[in-house]
């Protein structure tokens, strides 16, 4: 089966039911996309499918079809993704970092569809779990990318 | 990842077999470094040298070449005795060593050191990443290490420049000879510096703290780019040539043993399956791809067998009728005065003259660590009989010994690789049946190939050792002014340390009662005690350990006493701390940070009815205070804001400490509101985040963090900001409902009834 991923078309041998996550990690050897729960609860496995965030642990590779898959390995080649990564580094969002590939993908997806998200938009879109508790930093960083963070200045004393 | 590193001079440590390029490339990648940049910069000092020879007599933390590698491009590779798992310790180590060595923290590449006696820098004799101990127990040692390295730079430069050391000085990354205007970058000295004699730690001069460039500054994390782009490598990501995957199905109850697999042929015939194995308390399937292994092992119908009575006595056996509901009752009904942990004054006389008394029983729940990276282990036996192993761990030397046991080889034949941790919170110590390495070792032996075992979330939660449950019986006495004059707390609990090391009937597990003990309030008659109650579950250290529940109990009960005495809880704490400058300053600071103490209830701008609660804690050598603001909407608690102030005495990186406060306060909120591991019929009712939810962004409070440097002895930072948070929430909720909150998680309370 063919898979369009990170701007390339690759041949994939894994069985059709194999979730995209394991094709990416095991067969294609890209480990930036993480495994956390396997049941679409945590978001560590988030990738973009035609620019929209998807949880790859529950997406059979056969269901990807013609869609264009983007993983964290490619995210800096996307103009929005690049800005997200730069802001993530600048604001030092990650703690352990394990959830952060997924967080960056989710933030990129949000900002691609809505470049001026409100606080509620951000909360609604950013549902990935982070056990290290970076939620405030994630929300503030997205607001800073969108330029909607003026009201927040000085809040995280 | 250090087997090719000739500078690991501990004579007991193997140098390993020669490696091919692809393996080296993996090893480099496992350090979060792209192979290209590393190969270019690879400027090692040479093998057995003067320094290494001298180092054999050195105390832990003194053997400079075991810790540092200089690269020709001026980068410095630092092998950290502590593992990075989000707490920022790699950055802190770079700051501390860099400060004395005169190297900017961003010039460091930091990795976790292998197992070895040089790295036992916690109090100079052991090594764990935990207990919020890393920086505070190794601060002087690591500063001296940096100073010794600088001294070696100066010696090497003196020879090259043919000038006396006394004429030389350093600037960040270089040695300068003022008289001639010449300078030599550390990279230029890479070949020679680590061959210099290693100065004894006692002989070096440390900087005057007023001259610090980086210690105390919000220096950027050294690994933030890798962690933002999926380039950081965790145990889950480890791989070697020829590796196969294994998935396991654990026995539903601890202690059960695998009998027949009734559909064995079917399982063997499933896609990709290479072999099926029976392990201790589990079955495993090996396949080239993890998904195939997982699908097959989950399909296996295993006849789980009860252990014999003799076997039961040697393990923690989970009986088929265990339920947490019943166990909670058992704890609450445990009678007896308990074994005394702390006592002051005379508890009986305190109650004799009391104007009023208060009684209450408080309870806590089992908790999962729920780090987002489930456990995994990659094991590879080499031709010479040695074993390379990659696994998440907080104590490499301890794991090395047990892995050697499991593999039937000597500890020095086990090379422990400790990749970055995808969160830990106490998860990755040695706990019986909770670490996948025995499975990986056995499978690698049986299959004859490198094996990577990954635990799915379900298998992880089934073997994750838990934060203990406890029930604490309180009674308090007040005088006619409403001031507390006596307080007794008797906890029915098993502490994590006695759960692991065995219970001593004459002693209290300090970690079972910490947070009931160690309080600074001037209550003249106090008694804290423990009644030991054995658990059938495995128990663990969990972020802030005993404090994670005991400060909740104590600080919420203190509010009960305040109410009984007609006192404001903030003012009462202030009075009970009178004369304690550090703690009254702290309490004042958290009040100020929140805009001035107000308990409420009050109406917020958005029309919600809100209240605030305050609490304090003295964990791990630090002091903390928190205020929480809550409302109740549709019968559910909403935590709007938490003001959390930490006084760790003195600090290394204020930005990282603030991040730790945010993280700890978030976890404390999650514990307080949502989390509970429940058992029915000997099995957990939740195996994944669907039925064991943890706090997500939608319910995360806004956290306002502040760090105070009182100048007291340096305390911990990773755990201490947590314990004051759950009681601050509980105390705020009580104001709104008029009902005391005496148990967690609070989502189980029926708030509609108010
Ligand atoms: S691993 Fe896919 S959502 Fe958790
Ligand atoms: S940064 Fe550790 S889980 Fe999010």
CB A74 within 8 A of CB A108: no
**What's the confidence (pLDDT) of residue B185?**
95
Of A47-61, B115-129, B161-175, least confident by mean pLDDT is B115-129
**What's the confidence (pLDDT) of residue B86?**
93
**Contact yes or no for A104 and B229 at CB 8 A:** yes
Q: What whole-number percentage of chain A has pLDDT above 90?
A: 94
**What's the confidence (pLDDT) of residue B7?**
31
Residues of chain B with Cβ-Cβ distance to A129 below 8 Å are 372, 689, 694, 696
Residues of chain A with Cβ-Cβ distance to B372 below 8 Å are 34, 36, 42, 44, 96, 98-99, 129-131
**What's the confidence (pLDDT) of residue B6?**
30
Percent of chain A that is helix, strand, coil (3-state, to 5)? 45, 15, 45
Neighbours of B548 (CB within 10 A): 32
Residues of chain A with Cβ-Cβ distance to B225 below 8 Å are 85, 89
Q: Which residue has the tokens 């340390």?
A: B497
**What's the confidence (pLDDT) of residue A154?**
41
**Contact yes or no for B291 and A22 at CB 8 A:** yes
- Ligand 1 centroid, distance to A20 Cα (angstroms): 11
Site residues for ligand 1, CB cut-off 6 Å: A 35-38, 40-45, 55, 57
> With an 8 Å Cβ cutoff, is A93 touching chain B?
yes
Instruction: Identify the CA nearest to B233 among candidates A107, A154, A98.
Output: A98
- What's the pLDDT tens digit per position in A83-134? 999 999 999 999 999 999 999 999 999 999 999 999 999 999 999 999 999 9
Q: pTM here?
A: 0.92
- What's the pLDDT tens digit per position in B301-351? 999 999 999 988 888 999 999 999 999 999 999 999 999 999 999 999 999
For the record, the structure tokens of B56 come out as: 């054999």
Taking residues B575-588, report their average pLDDT. 98
Chain B closest-CA separation from residue A115 CA (Å):
20
Residue B29 binned pLDDT confidence (cut-offs 50, 70, 90): very low
Residue B600 has pLDDT above 50, yes or no: yes
**What's the confidence (pLDDT) of residue B43?**
29
Residue B47 has pLDDT above 50, yes or no: no
Complex ipTM:
0.96
Chain A closest-CA separation from residue B662 CA (Å):
6
**What's the confidence (pLDDT) of residue B56?**
57
**DSSP annotation of B739:** S
**Contact yes or no for B662 and A133 at CB 8 A:** yes
**What's the confidence (pLDDT) of residue A150?**
57
For the record, the structure tokens of B91 come out as: 């950055």
- What's the pLDDT tens digit per position in B409-456? 999 999 999 999 999 999 999 999 999 999 999 999 999 999 999 999
- What's the pLDDT tens digit per position in B213-246? 999 999 999 999 999 999 999 999 999 999 999 9
Residue B613 has pLDDT above 90, yes or no: yes
Cβ pairs bridging A and B (under 8 Å): 186
Report the alpha-carbon distance of residue B220 to residue B674 in Å, rounded. Answer: 33
Mean predicted lDDT score pLDDT of chain B: 91
Taking residues B93-117, report their average pLDDT. 95
Nearest to A136 among B245, B664, B702 (CB): B702
For the record, the structure tokens of B141 come out as: 């040692």
**What's the confidence (pLDDT) of residue B123?**
86
Chain A closest-CA separation from residue B412 CA (Å):
30
CB B508 within 8 A of CB B468: no
Q: What is the distance, to the nearest Å, from the Cα of residue B103 to the centroid of all Cα atoms in its chain?
A: 28
Residues of chain B with Cβ-Cβ distance to A88 below 8 Å are 224, 228
- Ligand 2 centroid, distance to B663 Cα (angstroms): 9
Residue B52 has pLDDT above 90, yes or no: no
Residues of chain B with Cβ-Cβ distance to A104 below 8 Å are 228-229
| Chain A residue with minimum CA distance to B87 | A95
Q: What whole-number percentage of chain B has pLDDT above 70?
A: 92
Instruction: Identify the CA nearest to B495 among candidates B515, B509, B514, B516.
Output: B509
Report the alpha-carbon distance of residue B425 to residue B415 in Å, rounded. Answer: 24
Report the alpha-carbon distance of residue B433 to residue B420 in Å, rounded. Answer: 22
Q: How many residues are recorded in chain A? A: 157
- What's the pLDDT tens digit per position in B120-169? 999 888 899 988 888 888 999 999 999 999 999 999 999 999 999 999 99
For the record, the structure tokens of B751 come out as: 């708030």
- Ligand 2 centroid, distance to B456 Cα (angstroms): 18
Residue B25 binned pLDDT confidence (cut-offs 50, 70, 90): very low
**What's the confidence (pLDDT) of residue A143?**
97
**What's the confidence (pLDDT) of residue B20?**
29
Site residues for ligand 2, CB cut-off 6 Å: A 94-100, 130-132, 134; B 86, 372, 423
**Alpha-carbon Rg for chain A in angstroms:** 16
Chain A closest-CA separation from residue B162 CA (Å):
44
Residue B32 binned pLDDT confidence (cut-offs 50, 70, 90): very low
Residues of chain A with Cβ-Cβ distance to B457 below 8 Å are 36-39
Of A86-95, B41-50, B576-585, least confident by mean pLDDT is B41-50
Q: How many residues are recorded in chain B? A: 754
Residues of chain A with Cβ-Cβ distance to B691 below 8 Å are none
- Ligand 1 centroid, distance to A54 Cα (angstroms): 10
Residue B753 has pLDDT above 80, yes or no: no
Interface of A with B in 120-139 (CB under 8 A): 123-124, 126-139
- Ligand 2 centroid, distance to A138 Cα (angstroms): 11
**Contact yes or no for B227 and A97 at CB 8 A:** yes
**What's the confidence (pLDDT) of residue A38?**
98
Give the DSSP H/E element, type plus range, for residue B79: strand B76-80
Q: What whole-number percentage of chain B has pLDDT above 90?
A: 87
Sign of the alpha-carbon dihedral angle for B152, B156, B158, B159: positive
- What's the pLDDT tens digit per position in B627-683? 999 999 999 999 999 999 999 999 999 999 999 999 999 999 999 999 999 999 999
Report the alpha-carbon distance of residue B79 to residue B108 in Å, rounded. Answer: 10
Q: Which atom of ligand 2 is nearest to the CA of B372?
A: 3
- CA-nearest residue for atom 3, ligand 2, is A130
**Contact yes or no for B220 and A92 at CB 8 A:** yes
H helices of chain A, in order, are: 20-22, 79-90, 100-113, 119-125, 135-146
Neighbours of A49 (CB within 10 A): 18
Chain A closest-CA separation from residue B272 CA (Å):
9
Q: What is the distance, to the nearest Å, from the Cα of residue B482 to the centroid of all Cα atoms in its chain?
A: 40
Residue B40 has pLDDT above 50, yes or no: no
Residue B263 has pLDDT above 90, yes or no: yes
**Contact yes or no for B229 and A99 at CB 8 A:** no
Instruction: Identify the CA nearest to B741 among candidates B611, B573, B623.
Output: B611
Parallel, antiparallel, or unpaired for β B302-305 and B702-707? Answer: unpaired
Report the alpha-carbon distance of residue B720 to residue A19 in Å, rounded. Answer: 40
């Amino acid at each position: 089966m063919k898979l369009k991923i990170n701007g390339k078309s690759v041949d994939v041998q894994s069985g059709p039911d194999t979730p995209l996550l394991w094709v990416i990690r095991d067969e294609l050897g890209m480990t930036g996309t993480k495994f956390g729960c396997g049941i679409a609860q945590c978001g560590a496995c988030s990738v973009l499918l035609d620019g929209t965030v998807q949880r790859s642990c529950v997406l059979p590779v056969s269901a990807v079809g013609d869609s264009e898959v983007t993983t964290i390995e490619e995210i800096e080649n996307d103009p929005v993704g690049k800005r997200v990564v730069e802001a993530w580094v600048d604001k030092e969002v990650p703690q352990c970092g394990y959830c952060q590939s997924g967080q960056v993908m989710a933030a990129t997806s949000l900002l691609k569809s809505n470049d001026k998200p409100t606080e509620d938009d951000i909360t609604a879109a950013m549902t990935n779990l982070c056990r290290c508790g970076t939620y405030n930093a994630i929300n503030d960083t997205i607001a800073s990318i969108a330029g909607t963070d003026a009201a927040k200045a000085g809040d995280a004393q | 990842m250090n087997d090719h590193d000739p500078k690991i001079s501990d004579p007991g440590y193997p140098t390993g077999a020669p490696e091919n390029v692809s393996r080296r490339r993996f090893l480099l990648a496992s350090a979060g470094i792209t192979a290209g940049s590393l190969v270019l910069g690879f400027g090692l000092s040479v093998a057995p040298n003067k320094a290494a020879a001298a180092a054999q007599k050195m105390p832990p933390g003194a053997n400079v070449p075991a810790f540092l590698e200089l690269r020709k491009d001026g980068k410095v590779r630092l092998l950290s005795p502590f593992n990075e798992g989000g707490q920022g310790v790699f950055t802190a180590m770079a700051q501390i060593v860099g400060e004395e060595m005169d190297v900017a923290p961003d010039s460091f590449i930091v990795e976790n050191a292998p197992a070895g006696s040089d790295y036992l820098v916690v109090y100079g004799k052991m090594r764990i990443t935990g207990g919020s101990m890393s920086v505070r127990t190794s601060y002087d040692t690591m500063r001296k290490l940096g100073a010794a390295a600088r001294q070696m730079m100066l010696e090497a430069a003196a020879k090259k420049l043919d000038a006396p050391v006394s004429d030389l000085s350093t600037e960040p990354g270089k040695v300068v000879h003022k008289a001639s205007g010449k300078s030599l970058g550390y990279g230029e000295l890479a070949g020679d510096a680590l061959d210099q004699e290693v100065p004894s730690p006692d002989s070096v001069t440390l900087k005057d703290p007023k001259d610090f460039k980086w210690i105390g500054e919000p220096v950027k994390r050294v690994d933030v780019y890798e962690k933002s782009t999926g380039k950081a490598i965790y145990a889950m990501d480890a791989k070697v040539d020829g590796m196969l995957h294994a998935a396991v199905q654990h026995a539903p109850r601890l202690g059960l043993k695998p009998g027949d697999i009734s559909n064995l042929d079917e399982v063997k015939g499933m896609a990709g399956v290479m072999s099926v194995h029976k392990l201790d308390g589990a079955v495993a399937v090996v396949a080239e791809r993890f998904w195939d292994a997982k699908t097959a092992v989950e399909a296996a119908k295993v006849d789980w067998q009860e252990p014999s009575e003799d076997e039961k006595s040697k393990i923690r056996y989970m009986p088929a009728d265990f339920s947490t509901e019943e166990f909670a009752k058992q704890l609450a009904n445990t009678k007896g005065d308990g074994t005394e942990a702390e006592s002051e004054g005379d508890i009986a006389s305190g109650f004799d003259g009391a104007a009023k008394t208060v009684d209450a029983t408080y309870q806590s729940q089992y908790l999962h660590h729920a780090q987002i990276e489930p456990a995994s282990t990659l094991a590879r036996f080499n031709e010479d009989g040695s074993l390379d192993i990659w696994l998440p761990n907080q104590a490499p030397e301890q794991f090395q010994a047990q892995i050697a046991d499991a593999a039937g080889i000597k500890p020095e034949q086990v090379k422990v690789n400790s990749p970055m941790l995808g969160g830990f919170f106490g998860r990755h110590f040695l706990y019986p049946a909770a670490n996948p390495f025995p499975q990986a070792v056995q499978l690698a032996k049986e299959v004859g190939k490198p094996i990577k075992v990954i635990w799915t979330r379900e298998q992880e939660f089934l073997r994750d050792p838990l934060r203990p449950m406890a029930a604490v019986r309180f009674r308090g006495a007040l005088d006619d002014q409403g001031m507390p004059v006596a307080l007794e707390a008797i906890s029915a609990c098993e502490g994590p340390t006695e759960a692991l090391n065995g219970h001593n009937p004459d002693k209290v597990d300090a970690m079972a009662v910490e947070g009931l003990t160690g309080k600074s309030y001037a209550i003249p008659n106090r008694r804290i005690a423990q009644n030991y109650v054995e658990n059938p579950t495995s128990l663990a250290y969990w972020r802030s350990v005993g404090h994670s529940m005991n400060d909740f109990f104590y600080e919420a009960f203190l509010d009960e006493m305040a109410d009984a005495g007609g006192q404001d809880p903030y003012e009462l704490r202030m009075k009970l701390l009178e004369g304690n400058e550090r703690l009254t300053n702290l309490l004042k600071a958290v009040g100020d940070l929140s805009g001035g103490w107000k308990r409420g209830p009050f109406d917020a701008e958005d029309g919600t009815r809100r209240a605030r609660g305050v609490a304090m804690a003295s964990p791990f050598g630090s002091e903390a205070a928190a205020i929480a603001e809550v409302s109740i909407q549709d019968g559910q608690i909403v935590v709007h804001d938490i003001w959390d102030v930490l006084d760790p005495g003195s600090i290394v990186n204020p930005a990282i400490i603030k991040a730790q406060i945010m993280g700890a306060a978030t976890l404390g909120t999650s514990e307080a509101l949502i989390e509970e591991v429940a058992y029915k019929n000997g099995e957990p009712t939740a195996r994944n985040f669907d039925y064991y939810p943890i706090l997500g962004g939608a319910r995360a409070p806004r956290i306002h963090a502040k760090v105070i440097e009182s100048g007291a002895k340096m305390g911990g930072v990773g755990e201490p900001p947590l314990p004051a948070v759950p009681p601050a929430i509980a105390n705020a909720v009580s104001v709104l409902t008029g009902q005391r909150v005496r148990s967690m998680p609070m989502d189980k309370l029926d708030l509609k009834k108010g």
